[in-house]
Structure 1
Amino acid sequence: MRLEHAVFLGATGATVLGAVIGNERLQQVAKPLIAPALAVRVLRERSETDAADTALLVGGLAAATVGDVFMIDPDNDARLVRGASSFAVMQAAYTTLLLRRGARPTAQALIPRKLGWLGAAGLLRARARTVSTPLTAYGAALATTSTLSADPALAPGAETTAGLALPNADRRSWLGLGGLLFTGSDGLIVVRRLFIRKESGRRAAEGVILASYAAAQFLLVEGMLALGRKNRTS
C-alpha cells in the first residue's frame, strides 16, 4: 500500500470516528488530509496522465479540502454555505474533465438525478429557506457531475443498471458508483439537517455521510485517472 493510500484510509477512519463520537478536534486534524492524500496519488500518476486532467483533479481536490474544513461543523449555516461553494468549484473541475473525456448525459442517468435535485430543492425551500438557494445551486453542479460520470460510454463493456456503470476490472467503471455515492452522501446532508433531531442519530448520520463521501472521492479520482491514462491500464 502506498503512503498516500494509508494516509487517506487513516484520515477517513479518524474523521468518521470523530463525527460519531462528537470529537471535533479529531476531525480538525484528520479531515483536511483526505483530499490532499488523493491529490498526491494524482501527482504520482502525472507522467501517465494528461497535464490538463492532472491540473483539474488537483484543483478540484484543493477546493474539496477547503470545503472539508468548512464542513467540519455541518450545523453552522454560514460554514455549510461556504463548504457547498467550495465543493461547487470541485464539481466544476470534475465536470470539465469528464466533458473533455467525452462524457455526455443520458436520459437514464439524468432523469432520476433531476427528480432528486428537484425534490431536495423543494424541501430546502420549504424548511430551510436561509440556505436553500446556495445549496440548490450546488445540487445542480453535483447532479451534472453525477450524470456525466454515469455515461456507460466511459467504461466500454461495463454492465449498466439505472444509468450506473457497474464496477469491473477497468477502473473507468468506478466513475458511476462514485457519482452515485457522492449524490447519496450529499442527499443525506439534507435529510440530517431537516429531519434528524436526536444527537445520537445526527452523529451516526454524519458518520455515514463522511464515509460515503470519502469512498465517492476515491472512486471518482481513480476512475478519472484511468479515464485519462495514456496507456489505458488500470
Structure 2
Amino acid sequence: MTSTARVLRGAYLTAGAVSVLAAAAGPRGDRFTRTVKPALMPLLAASALAGRRTGARPGAVTGAVAGVVAGLAGGWVGDVILMGPDGRSADSRTRARNLNRGSAAFAVNQVAYITALWRKGHRPQKGPLALRVPVLASGVLTAATGAPAALPAAVGYGSLLAAASVLAADPTVTGRHADLHGVGLGGNLFVLSDGLILARQAFLTGQKPLVRVLDGIVDGLVMATYVAAQLLLVEGLTRE
C-alpha cells in the first residue's frame, strides 16, 4: 500500500468513526452525518486507486479497480438517499420507500462485488449457500410481517447481497489466498449491516423515547458494520 493510500485509508476510517457516532446520536447527529457520510465512498475509491501496485499487471489491476470503484459510486448514491430526512420519517411507508430507493443504488455496488469475486475465481459452494438461504428467508419474512412496503429491497437487493456473501465465503479460494480472508468477513458484515437496517425499518418505528434510543444504537451498529464491510471488500478485491 502506498503512503497516499494509507493517508486516504486513515481519512476513510476517521470519517467512518464520526459517521458511526453521528448515527448513534440519532437526529442530533444528522448534521454531522450529512457532512461526513457522503465522503466515505469517495475516500475509499481514492484509496483503492492510490493503492495500485505499479509493478503488477497494470491492465488487470486497473480493470479490477475500475469495476469496484464503479460499484462504490452506486454505494455513494445509496448513502445519500438513506441519510435523507425520509430515513427518519415517523411514517413506516415513507421509510420503506426510502429504503427501496437506497437499495436500488446499492444493488450496483453488490453487482460490482459479484463480478469482481467471480473474476477472482470465487464460486458458490454448498456450505456458504446453505448458511445464507435461511438468512435471506428471514429477511424476507421480517419485511413481510413488519414492513411489507420494503419487500422490494428485502427480496431484490437481499438476493444480490446474499449472492455476494456466498461468493466471498468460497473456502476453495480464501483457503489458498490469505489476503482474501477479509473478503469473506466483509461479505458477512455487509449482510449483518443490511439486516439491521431491515430490522430497524420493521420494528423501531414511532417516537417513543425508548424506541428512539434503540433506533440510534442500531443505526450506529449499521454504520460500524457497513464501514468495516466496505473497507474489507475493497481492499481484498483490489489487491493483486
Structure 2 length normalisation: TM-score? 0.85
- Match among 135, 138, 141 for residue 122 of structure 1: 141
Mapping of residues 81-92 of structure 1, within 5 Å: 81-92=100-111
User: How many percent identity over aligned positions?
Assistant: 35
> SS state of the match for residue 238, structure 2?
helix
Tell me how far apart the structure 2 counterparts of residues 127 and 78 of structure 1 sit (CA, whole Å).
14
Tell me how far apart the structure 1 counterparts of residues 25 and 83 of structure 2 sit (CA, whole Å).
14
Tell me how far apart the structure 1 counterparts of residues 149 and 198 of structure 2 sit (CA, whole Å).
13
Q: Root-mean-square deviation (CA), in Å?
A: 1.6
Alpha-carbon displacement from aligned partner over 1:4-58 (angstroms, at most 9, x marks no partner): 1121012111111111112111001111111111101111134445222111111
Residue in 1 aligned with 2:202? 194
Q: Which stretch of structure 1 is more off in the superposition, 63-72 or 41-50?
A: 41-50
Moved >4 Å (runs of 4+):
none
2:112 is equivalent to residue 93 of structure 1: yes
Residue in 2 aligned with 1:214? 227
Alpha-carbon displacement from aligned partner over 1:73-105 (angstroms, at most 9, x marks no partner): 434333221110111111001101111111100
Tell me how far apart the structure 2 counterparts of residues 12 and 83 of structure 1 sit (CA, whole Å).
19
Bigger relative CO (Cα 8 Å, ≥ 6 apart): 2
> SS state of the match for residue 50, structure 1?
helix
Tell me how far apart the structure 2 counterparts of residues 41 and 150 of structure 1 sit (CA, whole Å).
24
Kept in 1, the 8 Å contact 2:113–2:164? The answer is yes
Structure 2 residue runs of 5 or longer lacking an equivalent are 89-94, 206-210
Aligned-pair distance for 1:171?
2.2
Residue in 2 aligned with 1:161? none
Residue in 1 aligned with 2:22? 18
- Match among 56, 77, 97 for residue 67 of structure 2: 56
- Match among 27, 34, 38 for residue 40 of structure 2: 34
Tell me how far apart the structure 1 counterparts of residues 80 and 15 of structure 2 sit (CA, whole Å).
13
Q: Which stretch of structure 1 is more off in the superposition, 27-36 or 187-196?
A: 187-196
Residue in 2 aligned with 1:232? none
AA aligned to 1:50 is: V
Structure 1 residue runs of 5 or longer lacking an equivalent are 159-169, 230-234
Kept in 2, the 8 Å contact 1:7–1:33? The answer is no
More helix by share: 2
Provide the aligned length of Structure 1 versus Structure 2: 216
Structure 1 length normalisation: TM-score? 0.87
Residue in 1 aligned with 2:91? none
Residue in 2 aligned with 1:167? none
- Match among 165, 176, 179 for residue 171 of structure 1: 179
